A = this chain, B = another copy of it.
Amino acid sequence: MSEIITLSHGSGGILTHRLIDSIFMKNFANDIINAEDDSARLDIASGRIAFTTDSFVVSPVFFKGGDIGKLAVCGTVNDLVAGGAVPLYLSCGFILEEGLEMRELERIAESMAQTARECGVKIVAGDTKVVQKGAADKVYINTSGIGLIHKAANVSGAFARPGDKVIVTGTIGDHGSAIFLEREKLSITTDLKSDCAPLNQMMERIFDNIADLHALRDPTRGGLATALNEIAGQSDVGIVLKEPDIPVRDEVIGICELLGLDPLYMANEGKMVIIVPETSANAVLDLLTAHEYGRDARIIGEVVGTHKKKVVLKTVTGGHRVVDMLSGDILPRIC
């Protein structure tokens, strides 16, 4: 097989079939995926399903803590989780740039397969297109996903209520900062890496044990500030954050200070925002901190009836400042 992707790999003919067999089917094999029919067929128990889609254009394709393939699986899995669902099936659509090295594509496919195994989700449908050199940047991946809504997870960004606690499942800004470091080749010695992780298993334990979750959100592009502004807007409430309680790694603070950025706007790819009544907040926290991906979970603030549709930060020095939704774009192609 040739060592780079050519336009013929996107023709739908022999080379497309070979590419699918040698890279995708080899890695994604399961009892459902079938390279030869036009649709996957799935048995679904009667009920409510969640359906979501996300395209990934992150640059660079490989970074500390992950790569575009791991990100594409985690991103869609976490979106399903944020909808209160247990993720089951993913599709993947590749747009490849002519000239992409086959071994890079294979590494990405292996990473997707490994992440899907870790999550317990199956990749059941796929598509591959190739565009000429200069009409993409290496590889873009769309993943769409189907999950089964958990019976106990009746969540929406519109369900936050005054008195609820705001929990974040760990340190913020790791993904955005790691991508930035990778891109700019800054000569900073750090262990910082993307937090890219699938949260379904950790969150399924929450769904199984906590009956009154109100809202969940995956604070990716736009960061924690944007996710909370969305919830404040949807629920017509205010959200007050206590700055000292927000977990941020020292390296992230350092990078943000250097660049004039704010960790509140930096993307996360393995974090969840959880809005839950005060009476359940500690139980949620206990379940989170017992899990690898929730070790640094913290209650960071609360929902209030004032400051409607606004997020307010009580700063370390005792001041108050309104934290708006992200405007402009601090780091393009972060995911």
Show the binding face of A for B, using Cβ within 8 Å: 6-8, 10-17, 36-57, 79-80, 82-83, 85, 89, 91-95, 124-127, 129-132, 134-137, 140, 142, 144, 146-147, 149, 156-158, 216-218, 220-222, 226, 230, 233-234, 265, 267, 324-330, 332-333
Contact = CB atoms under 8 A, between A and B. Distances in A.
B55 A13 contact: no
Number of copies of this kind of chain in the complex:
2
Given A144-B91, A144-B144, A157-B36, A41 B10 contact: no
Given A136-B135, A326-B13, A129 B57 contact: yes
A51 B49 CA distance: 13
Q: Which 5 residue pairs across A and B have the least CB separation, nearest first?
A: A12-B221, A39-B83, A13-B326, A46-B46, A12-B222
A277 B312 CA distance: 69
Given A39-B147, A95-B140, A157-B37, A132 B53 contact: no
A57 to B, nearest CB: 5
B37 A83 contact: yes
B327 A15 contact: yes
A12 B55 contact: no
Contact of A220 (B12, B15, B221): B12
Nearest to A219: B12
B7 A53 contact: no
Contacts of A14: 324-327
Contact of A44 (B47, B92, B216): B47
Among A15, A16, A42, A127, the most chain B Cβ lie within 10 Å of the Cβ of: A127
A330 B15 CA distance: 13
Contacts of A8: 327-329
Given A8-B328, A39-B85, A42-B51, A13 B131 contact: no
Contacts of A330: 11
5 contacts: A51-B146, A53-B125, A57-B95, A131-B140, A134-B134
Among A16, A37, A79, A92, the most chain B Cβ lie within 10 Å of the Cβ of: A37
Nearest to A89: B51
Among A12, A54, A125, A137, the most chain B Cβ lie within 10 Å of the Cβ of: A12
B46 A39 contact: no
A112 to B, nearest CB: 14
B149 A41 contact: yes
Given A7-B329, A327-B15, A332-B132, A49 B38 contact: no
Contacts of A92: 53
Contacts of A39: 50-52, 79-80, 82-83, 85, 147
Contacts of A333: 10, 129, 131-132, 135
A156 B52 contact: no
Given A42-B50, A129-B333, A144-B144, 14 more contacts: A10-B329, A10-B333, A11-B332, A12-B222, A15-B329, A38-B217, A43-B48, A51-B146, A52-B125, A55-B95, A95-B140, A131-B140, A134-B134, A142-B142
